Amino acid sequence: MVYLNLKRAAVLMTALLLGASGAWAASPSNIVVIGATAQSAPEIIKQALAQGRKVTALARRPEAVASAGQANLKIIKGDVREPASIESALTGKEVVISLIGPRVDPRVELESMDLYTVGTANIAAAMKKKGNKKLIVTSSIGAEHVVTEKPKGTELRDMWLWNGRKLYADMSAMEKMMPGLGLPYIILRPGFMIEQPAANNIKIAVDNTAPKGAGPIVTFADFAGFVLAQVDSDQYNGKAVSIFSDIQSEWGKNLDFDAMLKMRQSQGPMENGPAAAKK
């Protein structure tokens, strides 16, 4: 397990990229963000633009993409179930970041899910056709512990994992297919993310070594910083990296379930049920 200090990592990255004259020795890679209306997308796009990257954002609802109108941001309407729309977002030179995922109500059992496996296969095929060389996919720390037995109690976290077990199973299946896609890749498994300033407190564990029940709370800002650090690094290529912290999640204290639901509902309709697997 490794404790990552994002501020120190940023300083080290800057030192590596600075030449003797003080000018940048290399420009940061441009990125394509697929699933650009995901909850983690606004911070990733904002930080990427601040780093001087050109960003292409692919979304089914382009009008909902954050930072619209910003220089160096191109927004494209597309769907991972439509390979041609993925190809339209790629030039062959960008690092691709997949944030795909359905918007679901954790109180309702999800009947089926294949978005991660089908969508990721389509992304990889489009990348190979256009010549893109690196794929970063987001999964979840929940994919490490897919629930197979219905919990006896009604504790919110347990019911959430049970109702979404087919979602996590599809994530897990996606992870297993990554080595066979023929692309350099990184799998990122964030814990529960919250909208707060960067805490610079994340920890990482590689390839199924995250402690079960570890405090999963991570800020969107810290997660975005870690994602973008991987764009120009091969440190974790071919690895699954769990991202968490020592902060324990407690509903009604540091997590507000009603606020979370309202935020999801404000971003569009929930997709629970068979229709979720078809969108």
32-58: b (≥16 Cβ within 10 Å) or e: bbbbbbbbbbbbbbbbbbebebbbbbb
**Domain range for residue 193?**
2-14+28-278
pLDDT at 23: 36
Compute the distance between CA of residue 36 and CA of residue 25 in angstroms, rounded to an integer: 30
Number of domains in the chain: 1
**122-137 average pLDDT score:** 98
22 lies in a domain? no
171 lies in a domain? yes
- Highest averaged pLDDT of the listed ranges 64-68, 211-215, 262-266: 64-68
Strand partners, 57: 33, 75
**pLDDT above 70 covers what percent of the chain?**
72
122 lies in a domain? yes
19 lies in a domain? no
Has residue 261 got a pLDDT over 60?
Answer: no
Has residue 249 got a pLDDT over 70?
Answer: no
Place of tokens 């990733």: 44
20 lies in a domain? no
Higher pLDDT, 38 or 194: 38
21 lies in a domain? no
Compute the distance between CA of residue 256 and CA of residue 156 in angstroms, rounded to an integer: 12
Structure tokens at 137: 């996919």
- The model carries a pTM of 0.80
pLDDT at 140: 86
pLDDT at 251: 54
78 lies in a domain? yes
160 lies in a domain? yes
Per-residue pLDDT tens digits for 12-44: 444 344 333 333 336 899 999 999 999 999 999
Higher pLDDT, 259 or 166: 166
* CATH code for the domain of 193: 3.40.50.720
pLDDT at 272: 52
What is the H or E stretch that residue 73 is in? strand 73-77
